[in-house]
Structure 1
């Protein structure tokens, strides 16, 4: 199938954001933004769970229960991601790299399923990685799944309200082209947050 021309720049933006985030997490090299390749230390477990301020939301062992102001651990398996049923706490808790990476991976996996899959997966179905390497691999698989779903979209799909029925957003009321744009900005802004946390971790004082 030929990719609709108006989807092409959105795909290119997604690929750029995904590549920048993956390089920033896994190394060994990444594009500095001006074409210069710089070395990157792969994300380690201590950094993955680092809490730069008190009472962060993070990924935790299920047996330990939710963190401060959280009421539930999302996901399946021995680990879960801090969350709370609506209304969420205000001001929002600061979140770790583990939390942000889990959130992005979940969003991509579930949106792919609710666009071009069985349309049945929920947050309770997805394992939450309890280590940095597993989280980076999960993000890569999730990004692959979302990109595959995008490649199956034609012009009619882009103009269809409810082409994605992702249950944790407004997708069922939105044109699919708007959903694609929204996912891109999620990757861009959470990727920037994660990159900043990596910089802060590297520059922290003992």
Structure 2
């Protein structure tokens, strides 16, 4: 089935943002923005869990309990991500790379399932990674799942409200093309945040 023309730039944008973040996380080089390769080492566990300010939200062992102003650790398994039911704390807690990657990977994984999978996964089913290598691998898996879910989406699906049944967003009230755009926005802005945090970490005395 041919890709709907209005989907093509969104797929190209997703692929660009995915590669940009994947290279920024794992190296050995990344695109500087002008086509020049810049050397970058793989993210370390210390970077993954780095808390640049007090009282960050992060990914933690369940035995350690939720962090400051959090009331739960979402997901399944030994590690979970700091969270609290709404209304969320104000001002919002600063979040670690671990938190941001877990959130992004969960979003991609669940939306893929609620678009072209079982339509059953919830946040309680997601397993956050306990280290940087696992998080990098999880990002690749989640991005591939979402990209695969977009295969075969036709013009009719793009206009269908509720085509994605993802329960934690606006999916039930928006046409699917808006959801595809929103996922790109999530990848772009969290990718930029993570890249900046890597730069800041590199500049710290160690």
Alignment partner, residue 8 of structure 1: 8
1:151 Cα deviation (Å)? Answer: 1.4
Segments of 4+ moved more than 4 angstroms: none
- What is the alpha-carbon root mean square deviation over aligned residues? 0.6
Alignment partner, residue 184 of structure 1: 184
Distance 1:103 1:139 in 2: 10
Determine whether 1:162 maps to 2:142: no
Distance 1:168 1:95 in 2: 19
Alignment partner, residue 107 of structure 1: 107
Aligned length: 206
Alignment partner, residue 31 of structure 1: 31
Distance 1:148 1:205 in 2: 42
- Secondary structure at the aligned position of 1:7 is classed as helix
Distance 2:55 2:133 in 1: 24
1:111 Cα deviation (Å)? Answer: 0.2
Distance 2:204 2:99 in 1: 20
1:43 Cα deviation (Å)? Answer: 0.4
Q: Which segments of 5 or more consecutive residues in structure 1 lack a partner in the other structure?
A: none
So what's the TM-score if we normalise by structure 2? 0.99
Alignment partner, residue 171 of structure 1: 171
Distance 1:150 1:204 in 2: 40
Distance 2:84 2:140 in 1: 26
Distance 2:29 2:205 in 1: 25
Q: Which segments of 5 or more consecutive residues in structure 2 lack a partner in the other structure?
A: none
Alignment partner, residue 149 of structure 2: 149
Structure 2 counterparts to residues 1-206 of structure 1, below 5 A? 1-206=1-206
So what's the TM-score if we normalise by structure 1? 0.99
- Secondary structure at the aligned position of 2:80 is classed as strand
1:152 Cα deviation (Å)? Answer: 2.3
1:127 Cα deviation (Å)? Answer: 1.0
Distance 1:10 1:148 in 2: 14
Distance 2:174 2:45 in 1: 38
